Amino acid sequence: MPEAYERHLVPVFFRPFAADLAARAAALRPRTVLELAAGTGALTSALLTAVPTASVVATDLNEAMVTAGSAREPRADWRQADAQELPFEDGSFDLVLCQFGVMFFPDRAAAYSEVRRVLAPQGRFLFNSWGPLASHGFGAAFQDALEESMPNGAPQFLKDVPHGYSDPAKVAADLTAAGLTLATAEEVTLEGVAESAASVATGLLTGTPVSAVVQARDDAKALRSTVTQKMTDHFGTGPVSAPMTATVYTAHR
């Protein structure tokens, strides 16, 4: 999964927003940074380029992601860690970052409480979360293709998880419950550019939990081919692009 994620999804979905978050982080001039749910290091690399003097600890719950990320971006200190039980001392970081990870936390209040604990008194928590699935051109087209191809059981992972935490009021309430204050919430729309619609389909079919549902079917190969063709029919051949919307949040103690 990390290989497909890095090859097909990171350049299209995550690198544009990593540049955005890294620029925002650089404006805060952090010295000690903790990154949560770092994945394979798209934001980690952008951050270390934007703030080369910062000390960065990159964490992820998934050991395979940590292994892949540490090989790709050795300038950071990589650790396997659960965001809900961070293995760091109180007040250790003046900036905590998370790119498209908070949606996956089973207990967000617990994770946000840990963020508050490890933040220095004047520290900041900077993170983003995808908007509704309809606001993501590639994701919406993929889900449509999946549901057309699997009318009696298409996975709802994209809708329910990555795009299921898109209400700023809910995010603000979760932060408040953890003792954090939401300072800003800004909607940002960027353009994702892919080498082909087939590449995006491959990434979503093999680099996300959708892969487990598809792989368990007897017709997995044919299903992947059908979804890929529907994506190509929708976007056309050759390089393709689509708008992607997220909300960027800043919080503090």
pLDDT, tens digit, for every residue of 26-35? 999 999 999 9
pLDDT of 3 reads 82
Structure token digits, residue 116:
């508050």
144-172: average pLDDT: 96
Tell me: pLDDT of 2 over 80: no
DSSP 136: B
- Which residue from 188, 202, 215 is spatially nearest to 138, judged by alpha carbons? 202
Check: CB of residue 126 under 8 Å from CB of residue 250: yes
pLDDT in tens, 42-67: 999 999 999 999 999 999 999 989 99
- Considering the chain, what percentage of its residues have pLDDT values greater than 90? 94
d(CA 85, CA 125) in angstroms, rounded, equals 17
- Domains along the chain with CATH numbers: 2-252 (3.40.50.150)
Instruction: Give 152's pLDDT tier (boundaries 50, 70, 90).
Output: confident
**Using 50, 70 and 90 to split pLDDT, how confident is the model at 4?**
confident
Asked if the model's pLDDT at residue 104 lies above 90, the reply is yes
Are 175 and 181 within 8 A, CB to CB?
yes
pLDDT in tens, 72-103: 999 999 999 999 999 999 999 999 999 999 99
- The per-residue pLDDT for range 232-244, each reduced to its tens digit, is 999 999 999 999 9
The strand ranges marked E within 106-233 are: 119-130, 181-194
